[in-house]
Amino acid sequence: MPHLKNATTGGETLGASNVSQIFSCQGGILDVYITGTASTSTLTLKASPSLTGTFNTYVVDNTSGTPTNQTFTSTHVAASSLYHVSYKQHGMYFRFETDASGSPSWGIEVNGEQVTVHG
């Protein structure tokens, strides 16, 4: 099962102003696991309908039906916790981006039945 991976940590690690590898999910569930130290940084999930297209902030409806940016902060990853979220979105390309705030060390692992990592 391909997934974002760093041989040392088991997941890709992003600091400030970093961009993750691009990944896609062609079927099934896309599982995202986030760990690490957020500092004052924000981690944003971006999406594009094509591998070489423009990546924009990924927005989904929350439980109230309100469109919500998929951003993560220290609220999601506090005190060495593991945050998990699943998406069922096929035919899209995704990547994570961090802003320039603080000194984060975001640990990201993405996997699923039909996940492909694009270098």
Could you say which of 3.30.350, 2.40.50, 1.20.950, 2.60.120 is the CATH number of the domain covering 12-118?
2.60.120
What's the pLDDT score for residue 86? 87
Q: Which residues contact 52 (CB under 8 A, 6 or more apart)?
A: none
Q: Is 67 exposed, middle or buried (0-12, 13-18, 19+ CB in 10 A)?
A: exposed
**Which pLDDT score is estimated for 114?**
80
Amino acid making up residue 49: P
Long-range contacts of 59-62 (CB under 8 A, 24+ apart): 60/87
Local confidence pLDDT in tens for the 119 residues of the chain: 444 554 333 578 999 999 999 988 887 888 888 988 888 999 999 999 999 999 999 999 988 999 999 999 988 887 667 888 888 877 889 999 999 999 999 999 888 878 888 86
